[in-house]
Amino acid sequence: MKITKITGIGHYVPENVVTNADMEKIMDTSDEWITTRTGIKERRHVVDETTSDLGVKAAEKALIMARIDPKDIDLIIFSTISSDHYFPGCATQIQDRMGMKNIGAFDLKAACSGFIYGLSVADQFIKSGVHERILLVGAEAQSVAIKFDSEHRDLAVLFGDGAGAVVLQPSDDDTGVLSTHLHSDGSHVEDLWMPAPGSSFRPFISKEIIDDEMHIPYMNGREVFKNASIRFPEVIQEALKHNNLALEDIKLIIPHQANLRISQMVAKRLGVALEKIYSNIHRYGNTTAASIPIAMSEALDEGKFSQGDTIILAAFGSGFTWASAAIKW
């Protein structure tokens, strides 16, 4: 059975940089509060781009690196919680825009764990021989749904927009995805969610929904922090154990960029140096399903890992969901 290899990777972020100083101008916050609580200095916000626009730009780069013509891709998985429309998803839009054949294309909604969930799904298709050239995109334009005022300052400063993409193919050797592990705990649905629009509401859209701000994301920051600090190390250890690996065997851990303080807590709980846990959250904030492929793409460009190195991806987010993947590059 062939294992799944990442043969191309790319990322794209919108040009519009929103610094902590910009946030200070529109809400009661400070660079000092944001930096010490989250590690974020700036993030990118779309101006007139959509999630699929971002996804196309990241996907083009991944395809160039993989030297694959869009017409040869045989499945698209698009992980996002901020698709251009309520339905259909972004995957079919990029199928058409990138000139791909009439292949399968679907969106996957697993929030901040969406990229690893997508990687796991793609891995099953490749290992089973059903598909051979899969495009997996993680992209978000979530600033569009957030309210930028003092009342919503906890979420407003945290999230950013961007996209990352990978091309997945059967490996010719023993390098590639070694394992993926997926988890969820739906008892925490309301700790990080955007309740509307949805089938819970009659009528589907109403003045009440808007007045009660059910269409704006809500986060119970402390509960998220508490659970993330436990689940990240747990799911990283699960990946190590499954592959008979020790932390010393891992070149780099690339976590979903939720918050620098969460990464610091994970480093402490695992007993590893913070340098082993990749971070670019100071530049982009939390980009949900896009954060891992953006981070992986930048870490590769920066030479933080290279051929033959083993890395671990780990994610935690809304649902709650959490996941990990071990990859021999």
Active site members: 112, 256, 286
Q: Least distance from C-beta 317 to ligand COA, angstroms?
A: 4
Binding flag, residue 259, ligand COA (CB under 6 A): yes
Q: Tell me the closest approach of the beta carbon of residue 294 to ligand COA, in angstroms.
A: 14
Output 236 or 262, the one with its CB closest to ligand COA: 262
> Contact 108/79 with Cβ under 8 angstroms?
yes
Contact 250, 312 (CB under 8 A): yes
- State yes or no: residue 157 binds ligand COA (CB under 6 A): yes
Are the CB atoms for 316 and 231 separated by under 8 Å? yes
What are the φ and ψ backbone dihedral angles of 296, each rounded to 5 degrees?
-65, -40
Interface residue with ligand COA, options 6, 240, 258, 266 (CB under 6 A): 258
Site string for ligand COA, 267-296 (x = CB under 6 A): -------------------x----------
154 binds ligand COA (CB under 6 A): yes
**Contact between 112 and ligand COA (CB under 6 A)?**
yes
Q: 192-193 and 218-219: which strand pairing? A: antiparallel
Applying CB under 6 A, the span of 2-10, 11-19, 198-206, 219-227 interacting with ligand COA comes to 219-227
Binds ligand COA by CB under 6 A, chosen from 4, 7, 20, 29: 29
Kindly state whether residue 106 participates in binding ligand COA, applying the rule CB under 6 A: no
Q: Is 329 in the site for ligand COA (CB under 6 A)?
A: no
Q: Is 224 in the site for ligand COA (CB under 6 A)?
A: yes
In angstroms, give the least distance from the CB of 229 to ligand COA: 9
Nearer to ligand COA, 158 or 209 (CB): 158
CB of 262 to ligand COA, least distance (A): 6
Site membership for ligand COA, residue 262 (CB under 6 A): yes
Output the six-digit token pair for 194. Answer: 């955007």
For residue 201, the minimal CB distance to ligand COA (Å) is: 24
Asked if 153 is part of the footprint of ligand COA (rule: CB under 6 A), the reply reads yes
Instruction: Quote the CA–CA distance of 326 and 177 in Å, as a whole number.
Output: 6
Residue 156 Cβ vs ligand COA, minimum distance, rounded to whole Å: 7
Contact code string over 74-103 relative to ligand COA, x by CB under 6 A: ------------------------------
- Site residues (vs ligand COA, CB under 6 A): 29, 33-34, 37-38, 112, 153-154, 157-158, 219, 221-222, 224-225, 258-259, 261-262, 286, 317
